[in-house]
Amino acid sequence: MGIGELAKIGNCSVEIIRHYEKLKLLTAPPRTNGGHRQYGALHVQQLSFIRNSRSLGFSLDEIAELLAMISTQNVSCKKVKNIAEKQLTRIRERILEFQQMEASLLYAVKECHGEHQPDCAFVDHVFPYQSIKD
């Protein structure tokens, strides 16, 4: 199959496939006599793995490390677990950050009564700079 068909199957752009190839996340495909790339089942599997891993927030470096283990059939469950645990920790940290942002916004929204007045509780909370008013 050509790059367009792979992109359609992988639900991504042709450019992202080329990017993944450049980063060596996707195995270089063989070429036709005319120089066109010919992708196969392996590329569909690799692209699917990359896309699923990205949706879980893994970095491209982590994905490259995982793909290297898979391609050499030297998968270390312990290493995979360590990578996954680090990602889980990052996600939990981001959740806490989002909860703090939510609490701050919730407070600011509750303090703002939506009335037309020179002082806005929301602006005062989010942008507590007196110089803005001056």
pLDDT digits (tens, 9 = 90+) for 27-45: 889 998 888 889 999 999 9
CA–CA gap between residue 67 and residue 101 (Å, rounded): 35
- CA dihedral (91, 94, 100, 104) positive or negative: negative
**pLDDT over 70 (residue 126):** no
Q: Residue 1 pLDDT > 70, yes or no?
A: yes
Of residues 112, 110, 106, the one with CA closest to residue 124: 112
Residue 7, both tokens = 């992109």
Bigger pLDDT: 111 vs 47:
47
Check residue 30 and report its DSSP letter.
P
Q: In this structure, how many other beta carbons lie within 10 angstroms of the beta carbon of residue 134?
A: 5
Give φ, ψ of 31 to 5 degrees: -115, 150
For residue 131, pLDDT over 90 is answered with no
Contact 93, 100 (CB under 8 A): no
Q: Within 10 A of 123 (CB to CB), how many other CB atoms are there?
A: 14
For the segment 87-115, the average pLDDT, to the nearest whole number, is: 88
The whole-model pTM stands at 0.72
* pLDDT single digits (tens) 49-90: 999 999 999 999 999 988 888 877 777 788 889 999 999 999
Residue type, 117: Q
In whole angstroms, give the CA distance from residue 29 to residue 38.
6
